[in-house]
Amino acid sequence: MKAYERLINYVQIHTTSDPDAETVPSTSRQFDLAKVLADEMTALGISDVRVDEKCYVYGTIPATAGCEDAPALGFLAHLDTAPDFSGEHVHPQIHKNYDGKDLPLGTSGLVLSPSKFPHLADLAGQTLITTDGTTLLGADDKAGIAAIMTAAEELLGNQAPHGKICLCFSPDEEIGGGAEDLDIPAFGAAYAYTVDGGAANEIEYENFNAAEAVFTIKGFAIHPGDAKDKMINAALLACRINAMLPEAETPRDTEGYEGFFHLTDMEGDVSGATLSYIVRDHSAENFEARLATLRHIEKIMNERWGEGTVTLTITMQYRNMKEKILPCMHLVDNAKAAIRELGMEPVTSPVRGGTDGAQLSYRGLPCPNLGTGGYAFHGPYEHITAEAMEQVVQVILGIIRKYAEQPDVN
């Protein structure tokens, strides 16, 4: 089966995660895809297939004779889709021989256009897969799952020399929990790759340092007629707090290695208010400076309005994996070599977000990120080509071949 055919099947299974849930997985519907994958893996002849109680799907392809000493290599992708946009009742649209021009998305009124996505012109002649404009597609990360499964099928079919291959499909990556409960010893890999990026020629090993920051503001509500020198309007203080942050350091105004403060949610009235931010920076030093800025705002607000008026809560989320990958640059070098063998030029760019690989790298499993071939994730303009998905399959197989040819990577 082709990778894109698998993708079409997988995206029709609703697996959106829930950031407000306190269970793992955050939504039981992720088990629906997990069970489909487990059955498919077993049918392909993958060994030790299991789905644990937290919805992690594991499987192993044993090393071929003579490659037992090659490092055990893992490939991972996530089951869930982002809660940013509907992932239910997905109706993928297949456009063969796409002409590279404006493309209406079903009857939604939305148009996928090169004016917004210039790379579309380069996809002319390919088989483009899109949404119908009413949901996201779910290529993030069901395209990653499809590529891994297709590579596994090809590997088992041709029995090319390879070391032990470890597979895992995990829940809740989109809400930051995908790597937390992964059983690394049971997974069995010495090194791994997530398949969760964009273009097929990408290899990523740098990501943001990240935290969530929440300001809780306690106001003092009183009748406006008696408010002189008494009222503390929490909603107005929230406005002042946001105005203290650098105006040009938002996601809209930054790119590449530039960090930001991103206001994700605000609510409140005179008596109480909250501001929720995500804070991101590739530089550990700059990241700590951003957190210091937030703490300073808390301090000066309380000095002005009274201790306890403003409370800042910072929750660390993930760290830049670069320092954990640098001692294992063979992971990046082998991926680049596999990409070049397919006639593509590898691209390394910083991830302006996080991946399961960042958490896994800090848990002791070095894990850079490969592309899926997809674009415009988390919304109705999400799209991918069948041809790019096949390239990702071949990148995975190329990496496996590299490690079989050079088992001693230390």
As annotated, the active-site residues are 80, 173
* DSSP type of residue 114: T
Those residues with Cβ within 8 angstroms of residue 131's Cβ, 6 or more apart along the chain or in another chain: 90, 91, 92, 93, 105, 106, 137, 380, 381, 382, 383
CA torsion angle for 318, 345, 160, 73 (degrees, to 10)?
Answer: -10
Those residues with Cβ within 8 angstroms of residue 52's Cβ, 6 or more apart along the chain or in another chain: 58, 183
Helices (H), 57-190: 139-158, 184-187
What one-character-per-residue DSSP string does 315-375 give? EEEE--THHHHGGGTHHHHHHHHHHHHTT---B---BSS--HHHHHHHTT----EEE-SEE
Are 108 and 93 in contact, with CB atoms under 8 Å apart? no
SS3 state of residue 392: helix
The total of other beta-carbon atoms located within 10 Å of residue 303's CB is: 10
